A = this chain, B = another copy of it.
Amino acid sequence: MRIIKQGETELVELTASYNRVLAEDLRADYDVPGFDRSPYDGYALRSQDTSDQTPVFFEVVGHIGAGSVYESYLEAKQAVRIMTGAAIPRGADAVIMLEDVTSFAEHEKTFVSINKKLYHHQNISFQGEDVKKGNVLVEKGTVINPGIIALLATFGYAKVPVKKKPVIGVIATGSELLEVDQPLEPGKIRNSNAYMIISQLDRAGAIATYYGQLTDDVQESLTKITSVIDEVDYLITTGGVSVGDFDLLPEIYQHLEADVLFNKVAMRPGSVTTVAKMKDKLLFGLSGNPSACYVGFELFTKPVIDYFLEKHEIGNEKQVAILSEDFSKKNPFDRFIRGYYYLEDGKLYAGPAGKDKSNMVHSLAKVNCFIHLPGGDRGYKTGDRVNIHLLT
């Protein structure tokens, strides 16, 4: 975190701001309500004229909808018919609801009969009672939801200052990779990691730029990385980072004179995750194994994106859950199990999303959390409390 940069601010249309990160505090540009107004359909009048002893007749001297204003000053025993949200006429100090009056006409005038004592200020929404002008309503770093959109509209944000999304390049490496539309060949598999990462980037609020897949050739990879590095804020490669003979990222980092921050993590899966720094860019070398790749992204790349976006919360939300299955085998390393959490009767449970062999791509489909099982000399049992990382 100490070495990574934070992104810039851009203005987007209000309708394009949903789910973006607010880059400045959202402030009220006026009091809300902006004037004393009626919370109901009814009649505005002077409370001192009302009585619960005897019916009082009020002359209806005006009729205003929301958005219009009664220009005169309300006198004794006058009433103005008023709609929800309309401004209280000067002179009036209370509103009686529509259903509490009886109206009648006489000599071409309209009257209402009121049989109820109102108190001073009854049924009035006062200027500024919701929000005072200048108040901070939402702090920068917040992800914009529909309620915040309503606030932005209310306070005149036709354009919204949001954090620019980081642009993150994706390159898949591995001579065994086929493109998605290619037929299978012996010994080969279709490239799934790049597409998975692209959608993880989407979910994390970044822009993915896909540069295709490369064979395990140092020169080819080097040329590619060098040619694209200036177009992106960060670069993700998948594959090529384990200790196998054809794993070429270490050599590439050397050629690039990139500063390898770490290239091994005491965890499973994802132990070969590598992060290197090159000028102000980070290069994320994720595993070619789908679940290690998934975990590596969420644990190492996602927090960097959050930081770039100056979000309040860095990294995925963490919670405590009750384990719904045994993990009886002990493991010296911390494990991040592809998990599925659910609420049952108000309690949070988590279990494996499927068989957790690291090569089993199909259990990824149900994953909505990682279950973090610290390494040590014992396994874990159903009912144990464990930390989980939410992926939604």
Residues of A within 8 A of B (CB): 14-15, 18-19, 30, 32-35, 39, 41, 63-69, 81, 83-87, 98, 125, 130-131, 137-138, 144-158, 174-177, 179-184, 186-200, 202-203, 208, 210, 216, 242-246, 288-290, 294, 319-322, 343, 345-348, 353, 357-368, 385, 392
Contact = CB atoms under 8 A, between A and B. Distances in A.
15 contacts: A30-B184, A34-B189, A41-B242, A84-B288, A85-B176, A86-B176, A130-B357, A148-B365, A149-B198, A150-B192, A151-B361, A152-B195, A153-B180, A154-B189, A156-B181
Contacts of A246: 65-66, 83
A129 to B, nearest CB: 8
A155 B147 CA distance: 40
A18 B199 contact: yes
Give this chain's copy count. 2
Contact of A203 (B18, B202, B210): B18
Contacts of A149: 192, 195-196, 198-199
A244 to B, nearest CB: 4
Contacts of A367: 145, 147
A186 B365 contact: no
Contacts of A368: 145
Contacts of A363: 147
A321 B190 CA distance: 44
A364 B149 CA distance: 9
Given A145-B365, A245-B63, A347-B348, A186 B35 contact: yes
A195 B67 contact: no
Given A147-B364, A147-B366, A156-B183, 16 more contacts: A39-B359, A41-B242, A65-B175, A67-B187, A85-B176, A130-B361, A145-B367, A148-B365, A149-B199, A151-B361, A156-B180, A156-B181, A156-B190, A320-B343, A346-B348, A392-B392
A158 B179 CA distance: 9
Given A146-B199, A150-B192, A130 B359 contact: yes
B192 A146 contact: no
Nearest to A65: B246
A322 B343 CA distance: 13
Report which residue of A189, A208, A243, A360 has the largest number of chain B beta carbons within 10 angstroms of its beta carbon. Answer: A189
B343 A177 contact: no
Given A67-B174, A176-B67, A187-B35, A153 B192 contact: yes
Nearest to A29: B184
